[in-house]
Amino acid sequence: MKFTSRHTAAAIGVTLAAATLTGCTEEVGGGGPAAAAGACDPADITLVGQVRNESNPYEAAWLDGGDTFAEQVGLTQQRLTYDGDSTRQQEQISQLLAGDTECLVMNVLPNGDSDTPPIVEGAEEAGAYLVTQWNKPADLNVTDYDHWLSHITYDGVESGRQIGDALAEAIGGSGGVIALQGVLDTGAAKDRFAGFEESLAANPEVELLDDQTANFSRAEALEVTKTLLTKHGEDIEGIWAANDDMALGALEALEQAGRTDVAVVGIDAVPDALTAIEEGTMTATVSSDGPWQGGIGLAIGYCVATGELAVEDIADEDRAWFAEQFLIDQDNVADFVSPEITESDFACDNLFSRSQGAMS
């Protein structure tokens, strides 16, 4: 018995190994040279979009944008989420890279700065085309790699300042405001608050009464705002929040306190914030345009994979760049409530049209 089963197992193992080997050889023979020239048949391209989770409206919109682009070129996007878990993100990436990588295009939102290097190294080794967004360590240079095509991010200082200025304008240029910061040890929270401080310096009549953290969370923002409202009372004329979730929490706190005279600003342009701006309860937010982010990463990879764009032809300042963001207030909110994806945004000769300059 023992022997037979062992023999059977060995036989199966050998057969499997042989099958796999043949498979590999065939692939290398077929796909190898084509990929080296950057000329995948469009139909062979696999498009993958990876974000933290779909329960976040912004990231869900991101993946929807990826679907729109995929449809545009007659493909489907594989939607991956990793629940904000770095280990799971790495596992998903290694699984992808263990498969057929010759014509693989990945548009990835790394969980944190430190998650980017292993993803980049993996893609480079496997020959998959990679675009990353938001997070990368400052000393990791995209130009050192051939398959890491581009890194797109947004200037947090700029967005923090934009909503700071909008807030100052809404309260008539003078008065007391409070600030709700994000998770204090993240770059986004730091940059956005630095931008707000710039705005405060430019509007000397606006006084920052208090700044507290609500960790980017709606529930925490509700509690912190309630406490600050009892602390400062009528002195508060405006609330600056480092993201929309906190701004929405602050709005609930204002409603519960019966205050309607306080201006609230946030960042991210989540659907609820847009509704609040439409209704006039919220003043302004900043949009990075999630659907565009979901599409553009795939578009860059697609254009390089098909050979319409060569990596060497991408200018150095387009390898790591700040994309354009939009201040949304009551005047233009209608344009953003149902965002339309313009096909020309993803044309191979128009990929970098939203660049605001290289990442500093």
Tokens of 139: 């000393």
Closest to another protein by CB, 118 vs 176, is 176
Q: Least CB distance from residue 124 to another protein, whole Å?
A: 33
Residues 6+ apart with CB under 8 A from 314: 149, 150, 352
What's the Cα-to-Cα distance from 227 to each of 196, 212, 221, 232, rounded to whole Å?
A: 22, 11, 10, 9
Q: Which of 52, 190, 192, 218 binds another protein (CB under 8 A)?
A: 218
Cα separation, 121 vs 146, in Å, equals: 11
Q: Which of 85, 169, 210, 318 binds another protein (CB under 8 A)?
A: 210
Window of 93-101, 141-149, 169-177, 206-214 that interacts with another protein by CB under 8 A: 206-214
Window of 127-135, 158-166, 228-236, 295-303 that interacts with another protein by CB under 8 A: 228-236
For residue 312, count other CB atoms closer than 10 A to its CB.
Answer: 6
Site residues for another protein, 49-68, by CB under 8 A, read 53-55, 57, 60
Kindly give the pairing relationship between strand 320-323 and strand 355-358: antiparallel
Window of 1-9, 28-36, 249-257, 308-316 that interacts with another protein by CB under 8 A: 249-257
Would you count residue 337 as binding another protein (CB under 8 A)? no
Residue of 163, 151, 191 lying closest to 268 (CA atoms): 163
Tokens of 135: 């997070």
Residue type, 99: G
Q: Least CB distance from residue 57 to another protein, whole Å?
A: 6
What's the Cα-to-Cα distance from 25 to each of 14, 36, 123, rounded to whole Å?
A: 16, 16, 20
The angle formed by the CA atoms of residues 338, 341 and 345, to the nearest 5 degrees, is 150
Closest to another protein by CB, 236 vs 323, is 236
Q: Which of 108, 200, 222, 300 binds another protein (CB under 8 A)?
A: 222
Would you count residue 320 as binding another protein (CB under 8 A)? no
Closest to another protein by CB, 181 vs 325, is 181
Q: Which of 228, 274, 299, 351 binds another protein (CB under 8 A)?
A: 228
For residue 331, count other CB atoms closer than 10 A to its CB.
Answer: 10
DSSP conformation class of 99: S
Q: Least CB distance from residue 226 to another protein, whole Å?
A: 5
Window of 127-135, 146-154, 227-235, 295-303 that interacts with another protein by CB under 8 A: 227-235
Would you count residue 87 as binding another protein (CB under 8 A)? no
Would you count residue 197 as binding another protein (CB under 8 A)? no
In 3-state terms, what secondary structure has residue 110? coil
φ, ψ of residue 52 to 5 degrees: the values are -70, -60
Would you count residue 239 as binding another protein (CB under 8 A)? no
Cα separation, 175 vs 173, in Å, equals: 7
Contact residues for another protein, defined by CB under 8 A:
53-55, 57, 60, 181, 184, 210-213, 217-219, 222-224, 226-228, 230-232, 248-249, 252, 255-256, 271-272
